A = this chain, B = another copy of it.
């Protein structure tokens, strides 16, 4: 089955993911529905992580969190969501290092775990495509290129670090339209944070992204940079928690919320 055209409703996709029948990246899956970044930390630093999101809303737009510690559901985003099983792939973090890539967290989940679901660029990419704007990483069939910047996040407790950005090249006219469209979606990173000179935000070479893959940038285009949901993973590196989990980049949690519901205008 071709995952990229799987247009089943979200709860059916989640059932397939939960049963191990779907284990691929979720780009293009369940079109129209919000996909989320996941961050799971112990309850004793949940308030700090929530504060980190609140202070850094562009890279860390918080859509929902566990109703209480140990509860693996996210009722605000879907009636049957189980954060232990519903992302196709996870990352285990120990003392700030990614140490494993489990396909579920059934054994690892703890009574004191709190899950955070953050907005994801898939939502605004869909809005841009609908407006006829080309998304180069989609055209070229690769993960979006992502870069560490020298833009510091506002720290909260042990959580700190620099912002990670994703980059999509566009002609200026499309970039202006993209700024307008993305401004309608603050909960999925909102408007770009920069365009043009990469070195102005501490990026030395566009051809060597820190995450994801290189994409072509044509001479008439400018790189346009959005705050990226990988940023909290940098904060986990800094926080060096004994144990934490995230989704694996690109393998997102698919929700029942429609992208269109997130538009503020």
Contacts and interface: CB of A to CB of B under 8 A. Distances in A.
Interface of A: 172-173, 175-176, 179-180, 183, 191-197, 200, 220, 222, 265
A173 B220 CA distance: 20
Contacts of A193: 173, 176
A48 to B, nearest CB: 28
For the residues of A in contact with B, the DSSP-based class is mixed
Given A179-B180, A180-B180, A183-B180, A172 B191 contact: no
Copies of this chain, complex-wide, total 2
Contacts of A222: 196
Contacts of A176: 179, 191-195
A198 to B, nearest CB: 11
A191 B176 CA distance: 8
B179 A197 contact: no
Question: Among A176, A194, A265, which residue has the most Cβ atoms of chain B within 10 A?
Answer: A176
Given A200-B220, A220-B200, A194 B179 contact: no
A235 B172 CA distance: 26
A213 B25 CA distance: 54
A200 to B, nearest CB: 6
A195 B172 contact: yes
Contacts of A200: 172, 220
Nearest to A195: B172
